[in-house]
Structure 1
């Protein structure tokens, strides 16, 4: 129940932030957006139609078609998300006038759009429209959710080129790019960890030194080198970026010929690897 309440709060905040990014930053500067809200903005500029009402109608149609592709929990959250976004857009679509700097407005619109979208996606909800299509592509075809949604957004923005003009279209693409980056950060985390694989004939000694000097847990896998036809164990450890240089020094001290592979890791479950000065970089 606590998880559900947390997701509910995230959906509400995400919908509000997303809607305000459109009505306070995008609409006053004639910027578009991706997805169904972007299409509703283009129709608003062309015919004066309410973007809130158009968003609700179009999103409801797409969401109804796509419900069968979503888990039951996502269906419930989506039923909440779709009308909330439309309501917040409708309630605030005439609040402010032109802010005078479309580039700055595009950048900050992208920040807030990405933040709101990231919160909504983190709950497992869909925003309807192209984001629901992107989620269906992810479930059925394994496509990346954020990138697929980004491509759909670009297509819709370019379709409004004749309505908002080339300059505002370019500003809109800037906003979409910023929004994608912010969405990635919200969904995957701001402080990526490093997963380090160390292949060496002295893997147990390297593991012992890492544990002794850095006070963190490591795993040693039994391995076999296919080229040299020799045993070559692998030490595996996850650290934060501040510990990387120290780890490299420890490895080179034990085995300067060790083969080291470093990967970026966004999420780590089952433990915390944040830097702790009181424990000299140990697990907290």
Structure 2
């Protein structure tokens, strides 16, 4: 017969502390990033895009069409549309991403309402295009960088990826292009073209914010001189190299594969090094969005 555990032995203080949610410094920084990103995004939309009679892609672009056509405030339409998409696609986001996304959607709608009357006197449409794209890209980048989304096209992209086997980026692009074409009902062809330039600027700025000033590259090298190349990369490039055993599918020949992650600035130097010591080496270069830790296997 099992001995019953005495209630006196239970430490209720520890249970209470373990059940209390902990807010870490990283969580606070993430929250600040969402707040800043949402505000900057709203400024880009109201102060530059709408002030220049321009459009946008995704849910915000659709809301701008409603604003121009029916005078429906952006803050209301974006909150409703993003809310519907969140209900439909909540299962496509992780629990953490869902919380941040809901927070970002509410903040964006709030700041869109707050900055609705903001404007800067400007007669040059190109300034609206460039700074609108800059602010939108910066705002979106700050939100997406922490693992959240801005709902809208991002959720549609995930749904298309699951059920239509489309790449998320391609699905988002199609949705944005559809909204831009739809904006021809309220905008001129020239305004739509300016909008596309602003969106291109926003994408480039967003990539810069997410990847950083010096994005990493992952290089896979299949060489007949793996030992020599690995030693040279380690000594001359200053990065650790991982050696993986591989086998040819047809020949069944065993060989070693080198794998290294380096800064983009060192890529040209590495290519020259490989070419100098093994012109027949097979090299594959991939983009790396994030690297955790400073140590690599050597």
TM-score, normalization: structure 1? 0.83
- 1:113 shift after superposition: 0.9
- Runs of at least 4 residues off by over 6 Å: none
Name the structure 2 match of 1:51: 74
Q: CA RMSD in A?
A: 2.8
Residue in structure 1 matched with residue 212 of structure 2 by the alignment: 189
Q: Name the residue aligned to 2:263.
A: 240
1:216 aligns with 2:239: yes
Give the aligned partner of residue 266 of structure 1. 288
- The yes-or-no answer on 1:100 pairing with 2:148 is no
What residue ranges of structure 2 are gaps of 5+ in the alignment? 1-23
Shift in Å at residue 30 of structure 1? Answer: 0.7
1:115/1:186 contact within 8 Å kept: yes
Alpha-carbon shift at residue 192 of structure 1 (Å): 2.7
Contact 1:29–1:98 (Cα < 8 Å) also in 2: no
Match in the other structure for 2:278: 256
User: Is 1:8 paired with 2:70?
Assistant: no
Q: Supply the distance in 2 between the matched residues of 1:18 and 1:39 (Cα, whole angstroms).
A: 16
Structure 1 unaligned spans of 5+: 274-281
Please tell me whether residue 137 in structure 1 is matched to residue 163 in structure 2.
no
Find out whether 1:77 has 2:100 as its counterpart.
Answer: yes
- TM-score, normalisation: structure 2: 0.79
Number of residue pairs matched by the alignment: 274
Task: Give 1:203 shift.
Answer: 1.2
Cα 1:217–1:70, aligned 2, differ >3 Å: closer, same or farther?
Answer: closer
Quote the Cα distance in structure 2 between the aligned partners of 1:27 and 1:143.
32
| 1:23-44 deviations in Å (ceiling 9; x for gaps) | 1001111101112221221122
Q: Contact conserved, 1:63 with 1:132, CA < 8 A, in 2?
A: yes
